[in-house]
């Protein structure tokens, strides 16, 4: 693949609000481009020279902020950090007005916020690409990095089983959609009171019908982990749920990913976590730092997957 300015991936989408809008071929093309951009010789290709990305943060971040900002710099562009405490959207300016104003200044907008409707309204009123950096419903950028990591380790998604153990949150939603899109089986194990919303499960199953993926939700962690190629977990209380942390901890007893549980996975399994991790809560330090853990490779792949996405959307 020769990466020059005239090259553009065949991505028909104008935004990334959720992976549900992307076809399997579009996702695979983004992953192929990410693999190319990850090569050391392609690290500083000026594919977005002169382009500016605005990054709106209503939720704090480490990986999202640094990977997008570094990615834009490496692509020859620039990123501007916009906290909602610093811009007028945080003081009552409408999302629609904000979108139209920022569209006149920027070549793309990334937003990390609570409500999925905020991202969708921003996109509806923006004339430049809008990227969902995380909402309470979806985390598509993380899953692109996850899929890249899985592909690097196994070379294929077909016949692989991903097991997610933990809260039925934005990560479980996006992993179900991502796995269904690429034809990978996924089992979600969680306490019944914290299962993914029924509409999210049905959405993933409606996609899986066309790709042959198997989607399962269970409260039996051993059953879920058995025969897994990938074991994945996330914190039990996400941002905005801190007041529920103690109550949630009671419900999630028995859902920790530890050495006893991963013995039921395949011997060459990989352990994944979107980070930050609460050690000795959702995962034991032994597993997190063990030989099967790929969490820091996974974290680095945020950079490469997002560079591919930025190029695909902003070079049009």
Catalytic residues: 112, 139, 142, 234, 274, 302
- Cβ contacts of 118-123, under 8 Å, gap ≥ 24: 118/58, 119/17, 120/17, 121/95, 121/96, 122/95, 122/98, 123/14, 123/15, 123/17, 123/99
266 burial level (CB within 10 Å; 0-12, 13-18, 19+): middle
Residues at the binding site for carbamoyl phosphate are 61-64, 88, 112, 139-142, 274-275, 302
Distance CA 29, CA 63 (A): 23
Distance CA 134, CA 62 (A): 12
Q: Are 226 and 196 contacting, i.e. CB atoms less than 8 angstroms apart? A: no
Residues at the binding site are 61-64, 88, 112, 139-142, 170, 234, 238-239, 274-275, 302
How would DSSP label each residue in 195-212? PPPHHHHHHHHHHHHHHT
Residues at the binding site for L-ornithine are 170, 234, 238-239
Greatest extent of the chain over all pairs of C-alpha atoms, in Å: 55
Q: Are 272 and 295 contacting, i.e. CB atoms less than 8 angstroms apart? A: yes
Cis (ω within 30 of 0) for the bond into 155?
A: no
């Amino acid at each position: 693949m020769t990466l020059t300015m005239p090259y553009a991936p065949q991505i028909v989408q104008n935004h990334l609000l959720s992976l549900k809008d992307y076809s399997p071929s579009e996702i695979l093309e983004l992953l192929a481009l990410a693999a190319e951009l990850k090569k050391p010789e392609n690290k500083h290709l000026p594919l977005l020279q002169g382009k500016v990305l605005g990054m709106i943060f209503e939720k704090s971040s480490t990986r999202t902020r640094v990977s997008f900002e570094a990615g834009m710099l490496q692509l020859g562009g620039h990123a501007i950090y916009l906290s909602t405490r610093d811009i007028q959207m945080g003081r009552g300016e409408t999302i629609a007005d904000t979108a139209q104003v920022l569209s006149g200044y920027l070549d793309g907008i990334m937003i990390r916020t609570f409500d999925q409707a905020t991202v969708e309204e921003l996109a509806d009123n923006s004339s430049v690409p809008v990227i969902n950096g995380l909402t309470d419903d979806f985390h598509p950028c993380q899953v692109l990095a996850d899929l890249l990591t899985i592909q690097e380790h196994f070379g294929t998604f077909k016949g692989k089983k991903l097991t997610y153990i933990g809260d039925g949150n934005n990560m479980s939603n996006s992993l179900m959609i991502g796995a269904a899109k690429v034809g990978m089986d996924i089992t979600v194990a969680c306490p019944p009171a914290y299962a993914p919303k029924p509409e999210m499960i049905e959405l993933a199953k409606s996609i899986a019908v066309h790709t042959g993926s198997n989607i399962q939700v269970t409260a039996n962690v051993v059953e879920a982990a058995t025969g897994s190629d990938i074991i994945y977990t996330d914190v039990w209380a996400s941002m905005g749920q801190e007041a529920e942390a103690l109550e949630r901890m009671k419900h999630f007893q028995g859902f920790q990913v530890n050495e006893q549980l991963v013995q039921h996975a395949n011997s060459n399994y990989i352990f994944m976590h979107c980070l930050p991790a609460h050690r000795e809560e959702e995962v034991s330090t032994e597993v997190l730092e063990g030989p099967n853990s790929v969490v820091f490779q996974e974290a680095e792949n945020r950079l490469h997957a997002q560079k591919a996405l930025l190029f695909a959307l902003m070079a049009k």
